[in-house]
């Protein structure tokens, strides 16, 4: 477990971390790599404990095995490159780090060498799929390679002979001018070409311009780019990170219009991006590739590379340092010195088939800030905690981003950040994708729980037709925006384009922040009954858990108190108001990213009449604390009364008003959202 040194709580009152502390963190990670190397000749092939999901698999094509070598080299180079520049003579496990990467980069691009990773042209020769538009994992790693050669320019790139530089350049040009995936991967080609241009090599500027204009037009607003159907951190650690580098290497000079737009978009992101991190600087577990963890902080460094950055450097360092400690201070973060395939400890439900044992080194993008010199404001400004310092007691700071369909809430009461997503499209059988994107709420202190049973999911509705046993999950979520402090969305279950939406089960979602969490007032839209409905709370790490059941009038709450894997106190409460029948619990193993055992509280109810006028509204809340101090009665039961328009009090039509004991009133009115739904 990482134990930071060179602390300065005057400069960094929240974390104590200084630039020297960050250098220590980089050495800590890189030492784990070199402890697994027997000599300077060995490739970065790290110990592998997971073999069923990750690549390479037995029978994979040759290029997949070569891709693992390149991932290990290029992504560990992310850690090493700034250290090489800061301390060129650094040795680990008896190996000079600079000499190692200098040698291995040449091996990677040289045909005939054992660690040659194959050029694009050579991969086409061994690819028997017949796909003339194929793109390969190596394209990704070329971008990491050029970033690292840029950071260690004096120590490595400039040490090569003209012939050696030409060999590397030919390898990069082969990828840079070749096929790529038509999303964030275009940026890899752009960086390859920009690096070549910056070093005097000829490139096809039309290819560069075509990629750049496509990237620019993936922009959705609020600083976010669309990368496929859904939004996630790729918008930040790819689009907003790589465009800053591209601007400096190429764009400002050659494509000033596009470069200016990229800079404007980065500055727009900085207006709200700090809110995505909680009071401790923690990163939320959300979207694909969560094994990259605190790489989500890299856009702060990227913004500081631009000509006219807007980010507060003291706030940026505070968030970056907090997120760094979120992971490095865990005792389950490493396996034989290497970051595990998980968010905290090993967690197979998170892992994706495009990853290998070396893939988590992508998190070292967070360490690229070490390229900033010691006198840069990022290192010299005093840490501050931004808006967290300005929140009053029990205040919620809620930010709605219509472009990407994201809503982020900072809760002063418990210091968490909760993310609600609204533009999600996943194939109906994609459980992994739904866990990553379709949770109704993502919480910075309660990472998402994988599937615990066939009809129960954490922070998701599950519908079951009780006549035939068919189980449905929410795979598509549409955004309808905010009105009077209420967020509106719609979630479809088992949605598919082949079927009219009126033949799809759906729930209209309305939710709003309360001091310790989110209250839901959702309305079911069912074309078919009888059915049962469940709604899970966050997964709760079970390392010895106390449970308490409380009632108030017709409302019921269940409270869990315990500790996470690291011994941190935690509490969670699920309260049901109208529309629900009861609260139950399910115990699970291997589905929680923090602890081996976990508990999920869930609400349940059923509707039996095909066209009967039964309650439509499902009103509940989930609240959390980072302590075991009991919740107050008003926190558990904050509702004074609920007022319906219809005399049957089912919520079939008209506004529903929720009167809170705080004196606030939330009006839920779904009428007209049909015309506001967006993807």
Let me know: does 23 contact 332? Beta carbons within 8 Å.
Answer: no
| Cα–Cα distance measured from residue 358 to residue 74, given in angstroms and rounded to the nearest whole number | 10
Rounded-to-integer distance, Cα 164 and Cα 146, Å: 15
pLDDT, tens digit, 9 for 90 and up, residues 214-248:
999 999 999 999 998 889 999 999 999 999 999 99
In this model, does residue 46 exceed pLDDT 90?
A: yes
pLDDT of residue 127: 87
Residue 491's nearest CA partner among 464, 514, 462 is 462
The tokens of 119 are what? 């050029």
pLDDT one-digit tens code per residue, 83-117: 999 999 999 999 999 999 999 999 999 999 999 99
DSSP annotation string for 268-293? HHHHHGGGGS-TT-PPP--SS-GGGG
- 541-556 tens-digit pLDDT: 999 999 999 999 999 9
String of DSSP letters for 581-635: -EEEEEEEES--SS-SEEEEEEEEEEE--SS-----EEEEEEEEESS-SPPPHHH
Q: 3-state SS string over 494-562?
A: CCCCCCCHHHCCEEEEEEEEECCEEEEEEEEECCCCCEEEEEECCCEECCCCEEEEEEECCEEEEEEEE
Instruction: Return the structure tokens found at 494.
Output: 């088992």
Average pLDDT over residues 173-180: 98
What are the CA-CA distances from residue 307 to residues 65, 262, 268, 369, 562 (Å)?
41, 11, 14, 16, 48
Domains of the chain: 19-389 (1.50.10), 396-675 (2.70.98)
pLDDT at 499 over 90: no
Query: Among 191, 189, 323, which Cα is nearest to 244's?
Result: 191
> Hey, how many other C-beta atoms are within 10 angstroms of the C-beta on 162?
7
Q: In sequence order, what E strands does 292-362 have?
A: 334-335, 338-339
Collect all residues with Cβ–Cβ distance below 8 Å to 310 and sequence separation of at least 6. Answer: 267, 270, 271, 303
Q: DSSP letters of 235-270?
A: IIIIIIHHHHHHIIIIIHHH-HHHHHHHHHHHHHHH
Q: Residue 667's beta-bridge partner residues?
A: 657
CA distance 549 to 569: 19
Task: Name the pLDDT band for 62 (thresholds 50, 70, 90).
Answer: confident
CB 487 within 8 A of CB 420: yes
289: left (phi over 0), alpha (psi -120 to 50) or beta: left
pLDDT one-digit tens code per residue, 535-544:
999 999 999 9
Q: Is 10 helix (H, G, I), strand (E, B) or coil?
A: coil
User: Which of 278, 545, 520, 483 shows the shortest CA–CA distance to 397?
Assistant: 278
* CA–CA distances in Å: residue 401 to residues 43, 482, 503, 658: 44, 10, 30, 25
CA distance 189 to 619: 49
- Percent of residues, the chain, with pLDDT higher than 90: 96
Q: Which residues are bridge partners to 456 per DSSP?
A: 453
Mean pLDDT score of the chain: 97
Measured between its terminal Cα atoms, the distance across the chain in Å is 42
For 581-639, what is each residue's pLDDT tens digit? 999 999 999 999 999 999 999 999 999 999 999 999 999 999 999 999 999 999 999 99
Are 244 and 194 in contact by the 8 Å Cβ rule? The answer is: no
Q: Classify residue 132 by burial, with Cβ atoms within 10 Å: 0-12, 13-18, 19+.
A: exposed
């Amino acid at each position: 477990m990482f134990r930071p040194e060179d602390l300065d709580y005057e400069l960094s009152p929240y974390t104590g971390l200084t630039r020297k502390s960050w250098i220590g963190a980089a050495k800590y990670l890189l030492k784990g790599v070199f402890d697994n190397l027997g000599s300077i000749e060995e490739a970065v092939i790290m110990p592998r404990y997971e073999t069923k999901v990750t690549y390479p698999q037995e029978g994979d094509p040759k290029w997949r095995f070569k891709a693992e070598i390149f991932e290990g080299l290029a992504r560990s180079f992310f850690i090493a490159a700034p250290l090489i520049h800061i301390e060129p003579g650094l040795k680990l496990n008896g190996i000079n780090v600079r000499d190692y990467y200098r040698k291995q980069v040449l091996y990677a691009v040289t045909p005939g060498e054992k660690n040659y990773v194959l050029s694009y042209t050579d991969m086409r020769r061994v690819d028997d799929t017949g796909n003339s538009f194929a793109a390969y994992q190596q394209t990704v790693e070329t971008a990491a390679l050029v970033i690292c050669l840029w950071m260690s320019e004096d120590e490595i790139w400039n040490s090569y002979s003209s012939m050696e530089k030409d060999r590397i350049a030919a390898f990069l040009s082969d990828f840079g001018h070749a096929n790529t995936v038509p999303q964030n991967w275009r940026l890899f080609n752009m960086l390859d070409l920009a690096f070549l241009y910056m070093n005097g090599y000829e490139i096809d500027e039309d290819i560069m311009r075509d990629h750049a204009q496509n990237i620019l037009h993936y922009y959705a607003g609020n600083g976010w780019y669309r990368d496929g159907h859904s939004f996630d951190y790729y918008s930040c650690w790819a689009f907003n990170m790589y465009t800053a580098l591209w601007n400096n290497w190429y764009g400002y000079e050659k494509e000033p219009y596009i470069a200016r737009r990229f800079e404007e978009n980065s500055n727009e992101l900085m207006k709200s991006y700090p809110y995505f991190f909680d009071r401790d600087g923690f990163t939320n577990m959300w979207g694909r590739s969560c094994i990259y963890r605190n790489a989500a902080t890299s856009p702060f460094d990227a913004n500081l590379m631009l000509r006219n950055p807007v980010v507060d450097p003291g706030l940026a360092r505070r968030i970056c340092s907090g997120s760094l400690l979120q992971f490095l201070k865990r005792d389950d973060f490493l396996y034989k010195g290497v970051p595990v395939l998980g968010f905290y400890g090993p967690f197979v439900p998170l892992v994706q088939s495009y990853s290998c044992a070396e893939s988590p080194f992508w998190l070292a993008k967070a360490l690229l800030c070490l390229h900033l010199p010691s006198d840069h404001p990022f290192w010299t400004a005093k840490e501050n905690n931004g808006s967290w310092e300005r929140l009053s007691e029990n205040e919620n700071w809620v930010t709605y981003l219509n472009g990407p369909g994201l809503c982020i809430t900072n809760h002063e009461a418990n210091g968490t950040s909760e993310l609600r997503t609204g533009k999600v499209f996943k194939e109906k059988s994609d459980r992994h994708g739904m866990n990553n994107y379709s949770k109704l709420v993502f919480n910075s202190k309660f990472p998402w729980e994988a599937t615990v049973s066939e009809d129960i999911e954490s922070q998701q509705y599950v519908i079951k037709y009780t006549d035939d046993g068919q189980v449905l999950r929410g795979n598509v979520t549409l955004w309808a925006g905010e009105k009077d402090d209420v967020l509106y969305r719609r979630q479809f279950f088992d949605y598919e384009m082949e079927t009219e939406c009126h033949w799809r089960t759906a729930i209209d979602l309305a939710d709003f922040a309360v001091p310790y969490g989110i209250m839901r007032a959702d309305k079911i839209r069912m074309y078919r009954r009888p059915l049962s409905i469940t709604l899970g709370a966050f997964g709760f790490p079970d390392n010895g858990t106390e449970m308490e059941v409380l009632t108030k009038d017709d409302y019921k709450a269940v409270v869990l108190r315990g500790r996470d894997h690291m011994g941190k106190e935690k509490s969670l409460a699920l309260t049901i108001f109208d529309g629900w029948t009861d609260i139950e619990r399910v115990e699970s193993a291997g589905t929680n990213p923090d602890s081996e055992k976990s508990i999920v509280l869930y609400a349940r109810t059923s509707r039996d009449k095909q066209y009967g006028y039964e309650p439509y509204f499902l009103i509940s809340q989930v609240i959390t604390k980072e302590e075991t101090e009991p919740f107050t009665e008003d926190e558990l039961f904050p509702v004074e009364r609920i007022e319906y328009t219809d005399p049957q009090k089912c919520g079939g039509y008209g506004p529903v008003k929720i009167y809170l004991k705080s004196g606030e009133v939330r009006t839920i009115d779904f009428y007209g959202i049909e015309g506001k739904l967006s993807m």
